[in-house]
Structure formats: structure tokens, C-alpha cells
Amino acid sequence: MKALSLKQPWAELIVQGKKIIETRKWKTNFRGGFYIHSSKSYDKDYCEELGIKNLNTGVIIGKAELIDVKEYKNEDEFKKDFDKHFAKKFVKYGFLLKNIKRIKPIPYKGQLNFFEVKL
């Protein structure tokens, strides 16, 4: 199964079901289920701003399904979806997620882009 590595607090926001669009500078043809991997690096300031503490890093923490990729034409369109992606900086693509589930953390080394995980 594939996985996608995200910094905290974004990985946590996904498994909480609050973040249903993952923003990226690149698009993908991939559709289907994948693991949510929490990278070892995190955004300390944004974690504090959201009041999220004691986050798992360097582990797989959930599963989701990528159902489509949305292309943002401009910043206004991007800002309208803020409550679905929580991103402050404009990026062109949004991965639309559903069937999000938290799983027991599994230590795993992350990689860039979608990567294969063998558990």
C-alpha cells in the first residue's frame, strides 16, 4: 500500500477528520487508499496556535482514500477551502480525501511523494 508523509500538525488534523484536503505543489494520477505518515519534522508554531500537543512523529498514524485532485486557479478559490485544508500559503493542488481512519502508530521512515509501504 502507498503512504504519504506529512508534517505535524497536518497529519493529525487529517486523522481527526478536520482536514479533508491535503495541499501540494504537485498533482498526482494516483487514486485510492494510502497510509498517513507523520514525518519527524513538524511546525512547532502552528501546533501551538492550534493547541495540539504530544504528537506522534516518524510513524504511520492513519489511512485515507484519495478520491480526486482539485486544481486551485487563484488565491481566492484557495482561501475558500481554508476550513478543509488549513494551509496558509497558496499552492495549486488539493488532494480530496475520504474514508479517513486513525490506526495504532507504526514506526516507519518517511519519503517524498507517495511511497510504497510493506507492513
Can you give the CATH number for the domain in which 7 is found? Answer: 2.30.130.30
Per the domain annotation, does 113 fall within a domain?
A: no
Per the domain annotation, does 114 fall within a domain?
A: no
Per the domain annotation, does 115 fall within a domain?
A: no
Q: Note down the domain range covering 84.
A: 2-108
With 0.75 as the threshold, say if the pTM is over it.
yes
Convert the pLDDT of each residue in 40-86 to its tens digit.
988 888 888 888 888 889 999 999 999 999 999 999 999 999 999 99
Per the domain annotation, does 17 fall within a domain?
A: yes
Q: Which amino acid is at 39?
A: S
Q: Which amino acid is at 111?
A: Q
Model confidence at 2, pLDDT cuts 50, 70, 90, reads very high
Per the domain annotation, does 119 fall within a domain?
A: no
The CA angle 72-3-113, to the nearest 5 degrees, is 50
Give, as one character, the DSSP assignment of residue 119: -
Rg for the chain, CA atoms, rounded: 13
- Tell me, what's the pLDDT at 3? 98
How many domains does the structure of the chain reveal?
A: 1
Per the domain annotation, does 31 fall within a domain?
A: yes
Convert the pLDDT of each residue in 15-44 to its tens digit.
999 999 999 999 999 999 999 999 998 888
C-beta of residue 49 within 8 angstroms of C-beta of residue 21 = no
Per the domain annotation, does 18 fall within a domain?
A: yes
